[in-house]
Structure 1
Amino acid sequence: MAKRIQTIDLDCYYGDFKAVSDINIEIEPRSVTAFIGPSGCGKTTFLRTLNRMHEVTPGASARGKILLDDEDINAPGVDPVRVRSTVGMVFQRPNPFPTMSIRENVLAGYQLNGIRLSKSESENVLERSLTGANLWGEVKDRLDRPGGGLSGGQQQRLCIARTIAIEPDVILMDEPASALDPISTLAIEDLINELKEQYTVVIVTHNMQQAARVADRTAFFNLQAIGEPGKLIEYDDTTTIFNNPANQQTEDYISGRFG
């Protein structure tokens, strides 16, 4: 579990438009990495290439290498479904399956992949995943109630439980707390800090204070002009990015002079 991610000369396209250009980055296992930058600079596009979700959009493609340890997930013959089992994703808004119970939501990954579990295996996965998402104590007595009946913060933790149920190596999070209240946001941030003990965690966030609180390393993205591709401007330890950035663009963004 917890694999290293490396991208080499990665470009991301929507049709003929290059949205993200020439990304070279190395993300260490068992760490939290935050992507920050203004809207439209390619943070989420790049994040979605890391488990091949980007190509689900019609006309979208990526060129270059994405190495998960030593395996290029973009290589010919690599099954994107297997990639998405290894690199899970949690989206901006909580999206539990509305017609499914809490139990069914957590086990959905197995059902969708046609994997049959015995009752004891199911119960073990259920408790492990909900405990890992810091939700077991809150829902263990109502597992057969609809997942959509939980609060927003609980729904997001349910989605995290659904992601870790299939035992990925990497967890991607696209602004996981942007739709939540401050107390629920703190719970998600505490959970992210715990998840990095077992997983490689990568988050996109517009909340710079959140990046400073949870990330070991931070990558700043920007675009030179409207219509130009987004680029990775600076990538370093979070304390360096926020206290002593090497690039003037990073300093201007961190200080609020633009963005």
Structure 2
Amino acid sequence: MSKSIEAIDLDVYYGSFLAVEGVNVRIEPRTVTAFIGPSGCGKTTFLRTMNRMHEVLPNATVKGQLLLDAEDIYASGVDPVRVRSKVGMVFQRPNPFPTMSIRDNVLAGFKLNGIRMGRAQAEEITERSLKGANLWNEVKDRLDKPGSGLSGGQQQRLCIARTIAVQPEVILMDEPCSALDPISTLAVEDLIGDLKEHFTIVIVTHNMQQASRVSDKTAFFNIAGTGKPGKLIEFDYTDKIFSNPNEQSTEDYITGRFG
């Protein structure tokens, strides 16, 4: 299931504004990659190009290639909806559908795409997905209760269950723990370690300790100043980035000298 991701000379525009310039990076299957860097440097913008979510904004365009294995997801005729079924997204704040039950939240991706299934299949997918998100034992006796009634950490894991239910190949996470308490954060971090056995995971985080704990490789993005494009400065194994980076700006950011 898991796929590699490769950006080749990727530029991201909002109208005529060049937001991210010249990204070249290859992310291996079944790994966790952390994107770090100061606010406004293009981390989330680049993350959203990986499942064409940035196109939701008016006049957003991409130049270059972004390969999911060997397929350029920006090639002519590629359906963005199909891309998003392969590349799931978990957002900064938990966003379960408030009027839906826990069960219906898990199955929402199928319903939104008009996929019908029998009761037995729906129950199997619900249980498998909630187990995959380490949430099953906590909610198995209240699947018909609203998802919005769960704690913040449980809601985020419910959103992860909703993402993995449709069996994507890549999971993108945009600061998934920023709104969570330390205990819930640890639960999600532990879950990320489990999920990488089956999925390629890319996470944006401002938490340096989190990046060092959960990721195999780390990409440092930076920006030269207001109005300038964000750029990928350095990409390497996480241990190397945090102990002996090649670029002085990487070390300065990690040690808190700027950003």
TM interval, shorter chain, is over 0.9
- In structure 1, distance between residues paired with 2:140 and 2:61: 42
In the TM superposition, 1:42-191 aligns within 5 A as: 42-191=42-191
Structure 2 residues not aligned, in runs of 5+: none
The alpha-carbon deviation at position 223 of structure 1 amounts to 0.5
- In structure 2, distance between residues paired with 1:9 and 1:56: 22
Q: Deviations over 1:116-174 (max 9, x none)?
A: 11111101100000000000000000000000000000000000000000000000000
Identity of aligned residues (%): 74
The alpha-carbon deviation at position 226 of structure 1 amounts to 1.2
The alpha-carbon deviation at position 190 of structure 1 amounts to 0.2
- In structure 2, distance between residues paired with 1:213 and 1:242: 11
- In structure 2, distance between residues paired with 1:183 and 1:85: 30
Question: Which SS does the other structure have where 2:221 is aligned?
Answer: strand
> Is the contact between residue 55 and residue 62 of structure 1 (CA under 8 Å) also seen in structure 2?
no
The alpha-carbon deviation at position 63 of structure 1 amounts to 1.1
The alpha-carbon deviation at position 70 of structure 1 amounts to 0.3
The alpha-carbon deviation at position 249 of structure 1 amounts to 0.7
**So what's the TM-score if we normalise by structure 2?**
1.00
Give the aligned CA root-mean-square deviation in angstroms. 0.4
Structure 1 residues not aligned, in runs of 5+: none
Question: Which SS does the other structure have where 1:25 is aligned?
Answer: strand
- In structure 2, distance between residues paired with 1:66 and 1:179: 30
Structure 1 runs, 4 residues or longer, greater than 4 Å off = none
- In structure 2, distance between residues paired with 1:63 and 1:150: 41
**Counterpart of 1:172 in structure 2: which amino acid?**
L
Question: Which SS does the other structure have where 1:226 is aligned?
Answer: coil
Q: How many residues align?
A: 259
The alpha-carbon deviation at position 244 of structure 1 amounts to 0.2
